[in-house]
Chain A
Amino acid sequence: MPLVDQWLSAASRHNAVLLLFVVCCGVTVIGALVIRDMQQANTEAQKMYKSSVNGLQEIGELQYDAQETRRTTLYALTTTDSNLQVEYADQTREADRRVRSGIAEYGRQAKGSQELALADRLNRDWTAYLGVRDEVLASILEGSTSEAVSLDLKGGVPAFEKVRQDLNEVKRLFGEDASREQASLAESSRRSSSRMVGILSFTFLLSTAAVWAIQRSQMLGRMQLANLQMEFVASVSHELRTPLAVIRSAADNIADGLVKNMDALHRYGVILQHQSRSMGELVDQILLFASTEDRNKRVSLQPLAVEQIVESVLSDTEVLVRDAGFTLDLEVDPALPHALGDLSGITQCLRNLVGNAVKYGGADRRILLRAFASASRDSSRGELQISITDRGIGIDSSEIVHIFDPFYRSPRVHASQIHGTGLGLALAKRIAESMGGSLTVISQLSAGSTFTLHLQISKGEDLQTVANEERQSRMSLT
């Protein structure tokens, strides 16, 4: 189940549409297969019907023509007019020609040894019958009717009976062939139906699974958010309660007259000042995070010298770094171009990163701030990078994807009793993105982390615009 939840969580990140897309793809592919199957079955059925009708018609014609050959021969018996008899002779020979052609066609289309042998036998029997027929016909034309009848009874009837049996055999074999084709068609149709049922079942199961997965992922998401928010409330309460307790205790001591001399009073003052600033910062951070909820909101950007940024960050974090007993080392490349950004935003972002480095920096107690220019990953303009490196506890690779999520706090951090709201990195990332930049991290567990703020490099026209704005501002002041 945890594996399923993990998968669902991943699916929810890439949106549940992915699941529906998979369902659609599956249904489309199998649907296409079924349609192809049905078309094939339909074509086969049409072919079979046509072949069956044609075959029956051809066999019927063959039987009729064979009868016609015999019938017209015997018609000649009914008259003594030689002219009429010659006409009947013509008709019987014409019918004979059609029968021969039909037998030859059957031989050509014969499938398998049985049909070939039958075609051979039919041809032989027909030739034998024609031999008798010619004699009978000659006798009739000569006027020897009794001889003709005798010849026909003796040779013609049995010879024609053989032909009749052969033709019945042809019909029987054709029927068997048609039955086989029909069975094959029925099998094909059954296969198509099974596939159709399979498809419908598959679609139903897949859709049900998709709906279930979507619902579950949404539920998990909501539960996760609720958990994070509860953790956040607990963290914030804790973060607020600690300085509040100190402030109340100091205030109580002063009110109770326990603070007698000026030095002690001064110390209490510093404590109150520090704790109230700490509370103020926490509230500011929460408010700032709330204000960055609107991702479309862009801050006003201006060209900033790297030195200006570094100076601002140093002054902002000096107390924090010093109080924690850390050393902040600087490595700033010379002659760096101006960055395009908002100074307060950049300072806030870097302060959060330095704060994290202090919080998770470990025993080494050294933080490195580097500023350098490099080629941008997605534009030819280049970018300015400011990185904060510590040699602290590092981040597990499985957690890297979550650390920028709002309210997320690592279980290891929880276990280590390191306080925090889970908003610092989320806020830093949002600030970076609001300036058209980004925030990346490289980390190794127990070796430390490097967070890098990527900023756009200001072009010449940006500087010119700022200079103009400053000049206008000075003119309006004078």
Chain B
Amino acid sequence: MVLLQESCANSGRAVAFSSADQPNPTEPLVIVVNRSNPVDELSFDELRRIFLGNRSHWPNGRRITLVMREPGEPERKTVLRDVCGMNEDQFKNHFVHGLFTGEILVSPKILASPVGVRKFVFNVPGAIGYLRGVDVDDSVKVVRIDELLPDDKGYKLRTQIQVAN
């Protein structure tokens, strides 16, 4: 635990514990879009609608392309749990149903790595995805959620810190 704390301190990331009894270190999960996207801020509700495929276009008319990590990844779990309020099966069913009924136009794109997510978002003007803070660079734009940046206090979207084996 001491080592974990040191690692977090060195990385400069904001670390929080989910409960006092059972310390569970987390870090913010950053929502990123293409740099050409005019959107700088989303409400948590808008974010939920986007990730559930209920919103299909950006204000500039660009089609929204949802970028997800592979099933089982902690970031995906966080988004499904905290944003979509679903588990993996519910999420799949939601999209199968939506695509079948035509309520949802495009299924999420699945990328194997954070680098892949970042490059995808960089190449597709309407893409939106999520990354850990350490994986973010200038090729993508960070979006405020409920007017808060990932490092701001009260930022809701947090995921478990990955411990290197």
Contact yes or no, A89 B119, CB < 8 A: yes
Known contacts being A141-B65, A142-B65, A142-B126, is A86 close to B120, with CB within 8 Å?
yes
Which residues does chain A contribute within 8 Å of B134, judged by CB atoms? none
Whether a CB of chain A sits under 8 angstroms from the CB of B97 is no
Whether a CB of chain B sits under 8 angstroms from the CB of A316 is no
Whether a CB of chain A sits under 8 angstroms from the CB of B110 is yes
Contact count band on A? 10 to 19
Q: How far is the CA of A141 from the CA of B106 in the complex (A)?
A: 12
Number of A-B contacts (CB under 8 A): 41
CB-nearest residue of chain A relative to B65?
A142
Which residues does chain A contribute within 8 Å of B110, judged by CB atoms? 82
Which residues does chain B contribute within 8 Å of A143, judged by CB atoms? 65, 106, 109
Whether a CB of chain A sits under 8 angstroms from the CB of B111 is yes
Which residues of chain A in 370-408 are interfacial with respect to chain B, using CB atoms and an 8 Å cutoff? none
Which residues does chain A contribute within 8 Å of B109, judged by CB atoms? 82, 141, 143
Known contacts being A82-B116, A142-B65, is A137 close to B123, with CB within 8 Å?
yes
Contact count band on B? 10 to 19
Contact yes or no, B111 A138, CB < 8 A: no
Interface of A is mostly: helix
Most chain B beta carbons < 10 A, residue from A90, A138, A144: A138
Contact yes or no, A82 B120, CB < 8 A: yes
Which residues does chain B contribute within 8 Å of A82, judged by CB atoms? 67, 109-111, 116, 120
Q: Min CB distance, B64 to chain A, in Å?
A: 9
Which residues does chain A contribute within 8 Å of B9, judged by CB atoms? none
Whether a CB of chain A sits under 8 angstroms from the CB of B125 is yes
Whether a CB of chain A sits under 8 angstroms from the CB of B42 is no
Whether a CB of chain A sits under 8 angstroms from the CB of B112 is yes
Contact yes or no, B116 A138, CB < 8 A: no
Q: Min CB distance, B56 to chain A, in Å?
A: 12
Whether a CB of chain B sits under 8 angstroms from the CB of A83 is yes
Q: How far is the CA of A144 from the CA of B63 in the complex (A)?
A: 11
Which residues of chain A in 134-160 are interfacial with respect to chain B, using CB atoms and an 8 Å cutoff? 134, 137-138, 141-144
Q: How far is the CA of A86 from the CA of B125 in the complex (A)?
A: 14
Which residues does chain A contribute within 8 Å of B84, judged by CB atoms? none
CB-nearest residue of chain A relative to B70?
A83
Q: How far is the CA of A138 from the CA of B37 in the complex (A)?
A: 13
The 7 closest A-B pairs by CB, nearest first: A82-B109, A86-B119, A141-B124, A89-B123, A138-B124, A142-B65, A83-B112
Q: Which residues of A contact B (CB under 8 A)?
A: 82-83, 85-86, 89-90, 134, 137-138, 141-144
